Copies of this chain bind each other. A is one copy, B any other.
């Protein structure tokens, strides 16, 4: 399947999760084997540039593991607060709607780890900035940040690039 055909399966749901938000629902794309495969190929990018995939809960787990299997890399989950059982490092951040905390196991990343950070959507960039900070504080290098969908009007790319001018942010589709 062509990537453009795969991306055409993303549908818009008005007023979710709150009035005024036009939510991009990727579940029809995920549910189509050929579309999921085409998008995964595109997300993988240059698999020689990273050793691990760091996926952000929860939709980043889906896309991140897809990349891990296709690219033959280990998968590291970045989870909501209180979900990881071992010693963690936490960051709180603001969201397009609300705020949240993400955590990683401190022994999941170290010097020499080169990570591809993955999430479904780049909105204001808050989640991804927190993910980058966690990875860097644990000594890992960021090979790249990749998202399926960038919502350009929310300015997340500029916010990430201002804070981390050397980190490449890649989006499969920009809206």
A contact residues, range: 35 or more
Q: List, in ascending order, chain B residues with CB within 8 A of A98's CB.
A: none
Are B23's CB and A76's CB within 8 A? no
* Contact A17:B65 (CB < 8 A) given known A33-B72, A33-B74: no
Chain A binding surface, main DSSP class: mixed
Q: CB-CB < 8 A to A85: which residues of B?
A: 13, 16-17, 23, 25
Note all chain B residues with C-beta closer than 8 A to A66. 65, 68-69
A55-63, A145-153, A154-162, A167-175 - interface stretch? A55-63
Interface pair B68/A36, CB less than 8 Å apart:
yes
Complex Cα distance, B67 from A131, in Å, reads 26
Contacts of A37 in B (CB 8 A): 69, 72
Q: Which of A33, A52, A63, A105 has the most CB of B within 10 A?
A: A33
A-B contact pairs, 9 of them (CB 8 A): A16-B85, A27-B76, A30-B75, A31-B75, A36-B75, A37-B72, A57-B58, A62-B77, A69-B69
Chain B residues whose CB sits within 8 angstroms of the CB of A74 once the complex forms? 30-33, 35-36
Most buried by B among A25, A31, A35, A70: A31
Q: Flag if A79 contacts B58 (CB, 8 Å).
A: yes
